[in-house]
Amino acid sequence: MVHVEENRCCDQSDEDENKYSRVIPNHRSSLNLFSTKSSIERNLSDKYDKYSDFVAQKITSNLICHVDNYMELETIRKALRKRGFIEANNHPWHSIVPFRTLLEKADQNNEYEKALLSFLVGKYPPDYMFITPTYDYDKYDQVRVLSMLKFNKTDGFNFGQKDGLCHIIDRINWNLDRNVPRINYPRSYDLIDGKELFEFHKDYRLTVATSIVLFMREKGTKCYSPKHGTIKLRVIDFACHGVDTRIKQEEGLISPRTGLDILEIVWGQIFQAYVDLIKNGKKIKIAKEDIPEYVEKIKCLTDEIYHYWPSRKYDGYFNIWLLKPAWTGQGHGIILSDNENDILEKVKRQKTKYVVQKYVECPMLVHDTKFDLRQYFLIMIDDTHLRCFSHWICSVKFASEKYILTDFSERIHITNSCVQQKFRNNKNEIETDLPILWSINQLIEYFGSIGQPTVWDTQIYPVIKSVILSIVEESVSSIDLKPGRFELFGNDWIITSDYKPYLLEVNRCPGLSYFSPVSKIVCGTIMEDLIKVTVDYYQNKEASTGGFELIYEMKLPDKQNDMEKVKL
């Protein structure tokens, strides 16, 4: 037997000792190999010894890795092999190719050699493991470096889940001074077990009222008709009163308990006026001489709305909401709706857990087409610090049809690449000349073509990094600070018409597959730089981190000292 010197970072229990091999079995006797002294057998024996010694050296050097087969991660495998790692994955040839055949046909970097090395490693636990966060974290507790963070449910929220992110951002924004810019994030409500159902109900109704005001402000005198108007002015007054009441709450002039308390019969009239005015194009009946005064009233009320709720500038006035499954990604199951009853009925009928999020109706468009950004950040915990890195590279994901708000088709509104690929595969369903993806450099060039050459570097990306930092800092108490843990996250951002980045969601296990020339560059770069951080920089703080920029670090607590936080 080829004995392997033990060199692990933590103690193992007796149970673990039995679970994992600490030696490489001698297959000569167990498989009756090399029983003769022919030159062929001697060569095989020498080859076996060479590979056994090679694997033993890798084990003592902590260079055994496991890379998940769930995703296309060959770039990560190549980067690890370049650094001397060998894989402990169960090779598919194990069960069908005899050991002797593997040994005979093994050659540098061919599949037989990969299978042979994996066979010799056996059940030895990997030192570096890249898996998806869907696995059981505790199952891999003894792995030295693992690509998964553990969020403590009892201590806080997981920002990688939509409901958790809602609560974290609410908490951040709630604690900010009024003069400090809030995190730009669409108003969102956790509907799981009806937690924030009433809050959504109130916001939906307030948004109906503010939509009436904002629509009237934009259209000006075109909303009114002394002769042909059918919408009663007193109903518009009811809507304005509801908005004014909520503003007085913000000012602290009335109790917060005084909500948009309108009788159902009056609410029904307001909602019908909203439909008639905005969707059916009907006019408000008003005396001609009263129009200027009412226009001024609406202007003042609009200014108040934008002062107290700046995000409503991007609401539009169609009152569209996104219903999102709380614990799934890749755009699956997202529903657009402007009907509160439909939304609540969907939540009631389905077993899926949902959050509801106000749709940003006024995004920046490129050639009349909606897009969003996929950007990445990385959290890594070593023996002394938790660190967060942000990567500058992004992909720009386009919809397949030009942007309109009268059609809720996902090909127009859901810019997730997995969703859009369904339509891109059918060229007859594409109504844009834009590709499915742009690189961030292409978007920056586009900014330059419309007179904004520096807006990415000076306005958009600095805000993105600031938001990531705030979320990570707020979430530290929820993360198990076990050294040797890291995780890659993919954020989705939308840019507003005045170049403000709005965070839509944070995704655990972001897709890294190549499906276009841009995705090959973006995902390839992310994977290569991830290894630079989690292998090279982990061991040597002078090593390059590629495009990952250190934006936050926190010294791990010990028994004597509290957490020392350092912002960079």
CA pair distance 223, 257, nearest whole angstrom = 33
pLDDT per residue over 221-236, tens digit each?
Answer: 999 999 999 999 999 9
Residues 492 and 371 in one domain: yes
Place of tokens 């834009």: 434
- Residue 174 lies inside a defined structural domain of this protein: no
Residues 394 and 520 in one domain: yes
Q: If DSSP codes are grouped into helix, strand and coil, which group holds residue 366?
A: strand
pLDDT per residue over 444-458, tens digit each?
Answer: 999 999 999 999 999
Rounded to an integer, what is the distance from CA 417 to the centroid of its chain?
A: 13
Sign of CA dihedral 465, 476, 479, 193: negative
State the DSSP code for 397. Answer: E
Residues 275 and 372 in one domain: no
Confidence at 353, pLDDT banded by 50, 70, 90? confident
Count of the separate structural domains present in the chain: 3
pLDDT for 356: 93
Instruction: For residue 566, count CB atoms less than 10 angstroms from its CB and return exposed for 0-12, middle for 13-18, buried for 19 or more.
Output: exposed
- Residue 338 lies inside a defined structural domain of this protein: no
pLDDT at 323 over 70: yes
* List of residues 6+ apart from 352 with CB closer than 8 A: 325, 326, 333
Confidence at 253, pLDDT banded by 50, 70, 90? confident
Residues 423 and 555 in one domain: yes
pLDDT for 361: 96
Q: Which residue has the higher pLDDT, 11 or 342?
A: 342
pLDDT at 101 over 60: yes
What are 151's strand-pairing partners?
479
pLDDT for 331: 56
Percent of the chain exceeding pLDDT 70 equals 83
Q: Which residue has the higher pLDDT, 455 or 109?
A: 455
User: Among 442, 535, 379, which residue's Cα sits nearest to residue 63?
Assistant: 535
Neighbours of 99 (CB within 10 A): 17
pLDDT at 186 over 70: yes
- Residue 270 lies inside a defined structural domain of this protein: yes
- Residue 470 lies inside a defined structural domain of this protein: yes
Q: Cβ(25)–Cβ(39) under 8 Å?
A: no
Confidence at 414, pLDDT banded by 50, 70, 90? confident
- Residue 512 lies inside a defined structural domain of this protein: yes
pLDDT for 419: 67
pLDDT at 21 over 60: no
Residues 531 and 417 in one domain: yes
Q: What is the mean pLDDT of residues 78-98?
A: 82
Residues 141 and 199 in one domain: no
Percent of the chain exceeding pLDDT 90 equals 57
pLDDT at 417 over 70: no
Neighbours of 86 (CB within 10 A): 22
pLDDT for 467: 96
pLDDT at 85 over 80: yes
CA pair distance 321, 329, nearest whole angstrom = 18
Q: Which of 287, 314, 341 is the last residue of a domain?
A: 314
- Predicted model pTM: 0.87
Residues 432 and 560 in one domain: yes
Confidence at 20, pLDDT banded by 50, 70, 90? very low
Residues 471 and 414 in one domain: yes
Q: In this predicted structure, which of 34-43, 268-277, 391-400 has the lowest mean pLDDT?
A: 34-43
pLDDT at 12 over 80: no
Give the phi and the psi of residue 403 in degrees, each rounded to 5. -80, 125
Measured distance between the N- and C-terminal CA atoms of the chain, rounded to whole angstroms? 52
Confidence at 518, pLDDT banded by 50, 70, 90? very high
Residues 389 and 467 in one domain: yes
Residues 398 and 300 in one domain: no
- Residue 335 lies inside a defined structural domain of this protein: no
Mean pLDDT, rounded, of the chain? 85
pLDDT for 32: 54
pLDDT for 430: 53
pLDDT for 410: 86
pLDDT per residue over 124-152, tens digit each?
Answer: 889 999 988 666 778 888 899 999 999 98
pLDDT at 97 over 80: yes
pLDDT for 58: 93
User: Among 543, 497, 481, 232, which residue's Cα sits nearest to residue 362?
Assistant: 497
Q: Which of 289, 314, 339 is the last residue of a domain?
A: 314
pLDDT for 91: 67
Q: What is the mean pLDDT of residues 238-267?
A: 78
Q: Which of 116, 146, 176 is the last residue of a domain?
A: 146
- Residue 178 lies inside a defined structural domain of this protein: no
Residues 505 and 433 in one domain: yes
* List of residues 6+ apart from 324 with CB closer than 8 A: 162, 333, 334, 354, 355, 356, 357, 505
- Residue 163 lies inside a defined structural domain of this protein: no
Q: Cβ(41)–Cβ(139) under 8 Å?
A: no
User: Among 366, 464, 370, which residue's Cα sits nearest to residue 415?
Assistant: 370
Residues 219 and 76 in one domain: no
* Structural domain boundaries enclosing 197: 193-314
State the DSSP code for 537. Answer: I
CATH code: domain of residue 427:
3.30.470.20
pLDDT per residue over 25-81, tens digit each?
Answer: 555 554 555 555 678 788 888 898 899 999 999 999 999 999 987 668 999 999 999
pLDDT at 18 over 50: no
User: Among 246, 346, 229, 235, which residue's Cα sits nearest to residue 287?
Assistant: 229
Beta strands in 68-117 (DSSP E): 86-87
